Amino acid sequence: RANARLMITGHIGGSMVVGAAAAAVAFVFSPKEALWLLLVCALVGIYLCGLIPSTAESSGDEVFADPFAPTEDLGPAMGAPDGEEAPTVVAPIASSASSSLIGRWRRSMSVRFPDATRTAMWGTAMQRLGTGFMTIYVAFVAKSSHTLSGAEQLALLGVVGAAGGVGTFLGNAVGSRVKFSRPRFTVIMLAVVSLASVVVAAVVDGVPTAAVATLLLSLGSAISKSCLDATIQSGLNPSAQASAFGLSETTLQLSWVLGGTLGLLLPTELTVGMAVLAATGTVFFVNVILASRGLGVGSLIGRARSRS
């Protein structure tokens, strides 16, 4: 709930207030001056991050969470609240690996992600991939549409961009107020709805279907992120939550970048791009279902790592 409210605050302050200021600067002067404003905001943010005390980032009893530990390598559980899935500890690594850098890294990753957290992480990653794709791809589609005037190109960007912004805002608003008793099921259902909207957009060409897909992807991403945060807090020991948040957030950011990269590489035909996004999203969705059953990419990586 706290993270969702922080996201809402960020959207109000960043997207609306500073975004309006940047638009005003670009209108009065030029886009170059708006970029200077962005640079100043970034430098202020870096300075404020430097003021965070080190005790807020780590503590003496902190352990690391491992999203790739295979189920069969688990040791005894570390207690969890009543009714929650108990987090588990990875069994000790063989001494032959202890002298290598990989061995030390593996030994330090001592707490396994619960299946609910894995499911929520990969489900959110699937939708972050979609939002990253739509953010970049639609801009290239609009710019390459020679039959559209400048105003029509701007309208296309505005409709899809507004849909993404509204979906993100609504999703965080829902996440900050609604308690999801079954976060794993919620994430899977949101992934189904998001993937279905992308498939429809691939079949039915047009800005309205693309805007709806962007809206549902953004909405699902925000709500799934709240579910992910909840599963980390309820399913992992407090000493492992810091690394779990860091690892999961890194995964989500990389998923967004992957989606944006696809948007850069694909032909600027909306149906082609949405079809590729639907195919990629289907692969991610299969991994979400497997993760909910203790399998998936995470387990495969963990098994390969344990054999290395």
Domain residue spans in the chain?
2-52, 115-307
**Residue-level pLDDT, tens digit, the chain, 308 residues:** 777 788 778 878 877 888 888 889 988 898 889 999 989 988 998 999 899 887 776 666 677 777 766 554 443 334 444 444 544 444 333 333 344 444 444 445 467 788 888 999 999 999 999 999 999 998 888 888 777 777 778 888 888 888 988 898 898 888 888 888 888 899 999 999 999 999 999 999 888 899 999 999 999 999 999 999 888 888 888 878 888 888 889 999 999 999 999 999 998 888 899 999 999 999 999 999 988 887 766 655 555 555 55
Q: What is the CATH number of domain 115-307?
A: 1.20.1250.20
User: What is the value of pTM for the model shown?
Assistant: 0.76
Q: Which residues pair with 109 in a beta bridge?
A: 64
Residue type, 212: V
179-215: string of b/e by CB count within 10 Å (b at 16+)?
ebeebbebbbebbeebbebbbbbbeeeebebbbbbbb
CA 282, CA 178: separation in Å to the nearest integer? 28
CA 139, CA 132: separation in Å to the nearest integer? 11
**Block residue for tokens 């059953």:** 293
